Amino acid sequence: MNILLLGGGGREHALAWKLAQSPRCDKLWASPGNPGIAEHAEVVALDLADHAAVTAFCGEHGVDLVVIGPEAPLVDGLADSLRAAGVAVFGPSAAAARLEGSKGFTKALCERAGIPTARFVQCRTLDEAQPALAGFAPPYVLKADGLAAGKGVVIAESRAEAERALVDMFGGQFGEAGSEVVIEEFLTGEEASLFVLTDGKAIVPLGSAQDHKRVGDGDTGPNTGGMGAYSPAPVLTPALTEEALRRIVEPTVRTMREEGMPYSGILYAGLMLTDSGPQLIEYNARFGDPECQVLMMRLESDLAEVMLACAQGRLAEVPAPVMSDDVALTVVVAARGYPGTPVAGGGIELRGAEADGVRVFQAGTRSEGGRLVASGGRVLNVTALGASVGEAHRRAYVALDGIDFADGFCRRDIGAREIRREQGSA
Ligand code: AMP
Ligand code: GLY
């Protein structure tokens, strides 16, 4: 089959690497792609906001499957436009992508379907929101309603801080995303992510992961898109996974289908493992970045086959994907300045960092006169497999230390909490 992969980050490099290995994949195109993706796919220039142009490309090149990596084109309805033209798509419709695009939508769905999540109120104006704080105790969790590139959440320690944050949010700090704000109860516990494939009916788990959102070692400094991740997340035990599927994922998929907006694609559930069981923090309508990189390292099955089956509503008919028992761990190398303004253009020498079970996925790179240079905040994802988190961690950092990227920095403690637990139980 001919596949078009949309996106150009580390997540899409991992997807391209895996799709290209499929015996079913005859031709792989990618847009906008990056130099890493270009090793597995033919990169083409397409404007993802121009649905007619993407659809026309698929017609001209006999594309059998479009895989949409990032959330923005999903929320923008690219999957709907392609499906209307008869093209199979891996990724949800705009209506279903509201599970990521609108926190208010997801909270209301949780309420209708009895899904465990933090108690909340949804506010449309500042006058409504300020008094609503009285119904909660600090720390206050405030969320701008729409897509805000992972930055739309404020956790305020005091009432005064929460009131100031609300003024900023309704004042346009997050643009359109701030026109509605959800205030919710603060949940305590450990966070873990659960990934499932669904075609709207069948639900197939694809593994778990934990990421590291803060920029600095020891979980310090500002939030980022993620500085590293590992899979599986042992805190999400088989019993907790079963509970999360039964109480959170299954009612979501069922309600979406029954209400006429079936969800198709990968559903990424951000969970808080509280004393009273898993609660939903948020959904994403796509693979996590860099969580996708660790999942793809562990995936032993044919990704193209399972994605096509998902797109065609035949997920129950294909063998469930098999994940390796190994642990995969990825370390993000970012450009100095990230998550603020990153230094662009720094030269990168990968110098054969890759080995058996070690891959360097490219996130923010471009090729300049035959040389690899940085072109984004998160630049590389150095990813390794190992028998334990400790082993995967060692192998990833050995590879990382062989790379020459003077403008880059990384956290040195990816997986550290899990390694301490491994050592404790050893
Ligand atoms: P979100 O964008 O909804 O994933 O939120 C970003 C981060 O804020 C999450 O990964 C959590 O660390 C934190 N967070 C969000 N909601 C809550 C909550 N209700 N209680 C505690 N922490 C939260
Ligand atoms: N790494 C978090 C995300 O992709 O949303």
Is the pLDDT assigned to residue 128 strictly greater than 90? yes
pLDDT value at residue 176: 63
Q: What is the pLDDT of residues 192-216, one digit of tens each?
A: 999 999 999 999 999 999 999 999 9
Tell me the backbone φ, ψ of residue 398, rounded to 5 degrees.
-60, -45
For the residues 48-60, what does the mean pLDDT come to? Answer: 98
Is the pLDDT assigned to residue 340 strictly greater than 80? yes
Is the pLDDT assigned to residue 295 strictly greater than 70? yes
Nearest ligand to the CA atom of 99? 1
Q: Which long-range contacts (CB under 8 A, 24 or more apart) does 163-172 make?
A: 163/130, 163/133, 165/140, 166/126, 166/129, 166/130, 166/133, 166/142, 167/126, 169/142, 169/144, 170/125, 170/126, 170/129
User: Which of 208, 227, 284 has most ligand 2 atoms within 8 Å of its beta carbon, as the pocket-test mutant?
Assistant: 284
Sheet with strand 347-348: strands edge to edge: 347-348, 371-374, 365-368
Is residue 128 within 6 Å of ligand 1 at its C-beta?
no
User: Which of 15, 147, 211 has most ligand 2 atoms within 8 Å of its beta carbon, as the pocket-test mutant?
Assistant: 211
pLDDT value at residue 172: 75
Nearest ligand to the CA atom of 106? 1
Q: 146 pLDDT band (50/70/90 cuts)?
A: low
The CA 405 to ligand 2 mean position distance, Å, reads 24
Q: 178 pLDDT band (50/70/90 cuts)?
A: low
For the residues 154-180, what does the mean pLDDT come to? Answer: 85
Is the pLDDT assigned to residue 175 strictly greater than 70? no
For the residues 274-287, what does the mean pLDDT come to? Answer: 97
The CA 153 to ligand 1 mean position distance, Å, reads 7
Residue minimizing CA distance to atom 4 of ligand 1: 282
Amino acid letter, residue 252 = T
pLDDT value at residue 144: 85
Residue 404 near residue 338, CB atoms below 8 Å: no
pLDDT value at residue 353: 87
Q: Which long-range contacts (CB under 8 A, 24 or more apart) does 353-356 make?
A: 353/382, 353/399, 353/400, 353/402, 353/403, 354/399, 355/399
For the residues 156-163, what does the mean pLDDT come to? Answer: 95
Among the listed residues 281, 284, 307, 282, the one whose alpha carbon sits nearest the alpha carbon of residue 296? 307
pLDDT value at residue 102: 87
Percent of the chain predicted with pLDDT > 70: 97
Q: 76 pLDDT band (50/70/90 cuts)?
A: very high
Residue minimizing CA distance to atom 5 of ligand 2: 288
Nearest ligand to the CA atom of 378? 2
Q: Average pLDDT, whole number, for the chain?
A: 95
The reported pTM is 0.95
Is the pLDDT assigned to residue 251 strictly greater than 70? yes
Is residue 284 within 6 Å of ligand 2 at its C-beta?
yes
Is residue 71 within 6 Å of ligand 1 at its C-beta?
no
Is the pLDDT assigned to residue 426 strictly greater than 60? no
Is residue 184 within 6 Å of ligand 1 at its C-beta?
yes
pLDDT value at residue 104: 86
Is the pLDDT assigned to residue 153 strictly greater than 90? no
pLDDT value at residue 315: 98
For the residues 306-313, what does the mean pLDDT come to? Answer: 98
Among the listed residues 205, 376, 215, 377, the one whose alpha carbon sits nearest the alpha carbon of residue 295? 205
For the residues 384-411, what does the mean pLDDT come to? Answer: 98
pLDDT value at residue 77: 97
Higher pLDDT pick, 353 / 409: 409
For the residues 1-15, what does the mean pLDDT come to? Answer: 98
pLDDT value at residue 151: 59
Is the pLDDT assigned to residue 284 strictly greater than 80? yes
